[in-house]
Amino acid sequence: MENLKNKQDRIYLTGFMGTGKSTAGAYLSRVTSRRVIDTDSLIEKETGMSIAEIFKLHDEAYFRKLERSVLTSTFQLQNVIIATGGGLPCYKDNMKLINANGISVCLMARPDVIISRLSFEKNIRPLLMGEDRIDKLNLLMQKRVYYYISADILVDTSDKSIDEIVKYICAEAGIKK
């Protein structure tokens, strides 16, 4: 693995939905005194629509273009943590761009843990709408794993506390708290 010190200005949290990107981003922000940015929140702010509304009114390709635009806008930022949407690294060459412009951290979890975490949310994620949520989840994970595993740092969040996750990220990325 290349020296991550050169890429420390931007920490990109990637991974499947429900793996803890938003939670880890907020905690990592407090521990490191870095600002945290959520790409989905930026898209919602820019469009004035929720992610679900964007998917309802447009197609996934339209949403992925919005994600790409938000991603490239982060490349000049310094001292930030960027929590990406679950599919952002899997569109075109986004993961290569993330790796070139910061430290990429992929949060992972077992499918049963993800389903459990998502069951606490009031809104069903657009890509998991309908019947057979577990089958859809497994299929999406299989399609995306190639992109996720190319991250600089991989963390299984299934059985770890948020404190353990953030300590691991800081240690692996060489970030002092």
Domain ranges of the chain: 7-167
Is 35 annotated to bind a ligand? Reply is no
pLDDT tens-digit profile, the chain (177 residues): 456 767 889 999 999 888 999 999 999 999 999 999 999 999 999 999 998 899 889 988 999 999 999 999 999 999 999 999 988 999 999 999 999 999 999 999 998 888 777 765 545 554 555 556 677 777 878 888 889 999 999 999 999 999 999 999 999 999 876
21 is in an annotated binding site: yes
Please report the beta strands in the chain, taking only residues with DSSP state E, as ranges in sequence order: 10-15, 35-38, 80-83, 103-108, 153-156
- Whole-model pTM: value is 0.88
CATH number for the domain formed by residue range(s) 7-167 = 3.40.50.300
Q: Is 20 annotated as a binding residue?
A: yes
On whether 19 is known to bind a ligand per the annotation, the reply is: yes
Distance CA 7, CA 70 (A): 19
Q: Is 23 marked as a binding-site residue?
A: yes
Contact 88, 71 (CB under 8 A): yes
Q: Residue 45 corresponds to which tokens in the numbers above?
A: 């702010």
Rg, Å, the chain Cα set: 15
- The answer to whether the annotation marks 64 as part of a ligand binding site is yes
Does the annotation list 86 as a binding residue?
yes
